Amino acid sequence: MRTLDVGCGINKLPGSIGIDRNAASRADVICDLDHFPYPFRDSSFNALQAVHVVEHLRDVMKTMEEFHRLVRPGGEVFIVTPHYTDFSSFCDPTHRWHLNSFSLRYFGEDNAGYGYYSNVRFEEISVHVKLLALWRWLGFEFLVNAFPRYRRFWEHYLCYVVRGKVIEWRLRAIKK
């Protein structure tokens, strides 16, 4: 199982190959993630994770396309990013992007009708939203994750009050 931990920082996934620009990180390969391609061959990883990284990078669409290139057909990609209503999303001035739980739909079925954004495809294995503790205790986190239609309702009508914390996507690379 060859796994790439993109932007691994000091918390590199055990057994993975870490890549980061920071020499003080646990990276095995130092490089700038805003410059493509990353120094690996096509389809050279079984899996890839980017935990609290994409919000720092210049181009989310190109970054996702690079992740797609790097994993084998059917390879899994795990992305974690703050929900845009969380304190951390706007507090950190190095965050360029503030995403919601539908932000990666442009890589899904029919590219959400936006094939001109990207023609790269991922199948969504799961999307999980963590909410602030109070709302989790009151059962909102269960509802948001158990029912996709409720998650849509929450994103449209409730999320500025019932605030999110973190979004986690598990995706599978579709390659012809």
Q: Contact positions toward ligand SAM, by CB under 6 A?
A: 7-9, 11, 20-22, 25, 32-34, 51-53, 56-57
Q: With CA atoms as reference, report the closest residue to 66 among 81, 93, 83, 48.
A: 48
Nearest residue (CB) to ligand SAM, 32 versus 42: 32
- The nearest distance, CB 9 to ligand SAM, in angstroms, is 3
Tokens at 126, concatenated: 């799961």
Nearest residue (CB) to ligand SAM, 57 versus 162: 57
- The nearest distance, CB 31 to ligand SAM, in angstroms, is 7
- The nearest distance, CB 10 to ligand SAM, in angstroms, is 7
Q: With CA atoms as reference, report the closest residue to 174 among 73, 46, 63.
A: 73
Q: With CA atoms as reference, report the closest residue to 1 among 66, 65, 67, 76.
A: 76
Those residues whose C-beta lies under 8 Å from the C-beta of residue 93, and which sit 6 or more positions away, are: none
- The nearest distance, CB 129 to ligand SAM, in angstroms, is 18
Measured in whole angstroms, the distance separating CA 164 from the mean position of its chain's CA atoms is 15
- Closest residue to ligand SAM, judged by C-beta, is 9
Nearest residue (CB) to ligand SAM, 37 versus 73: 37
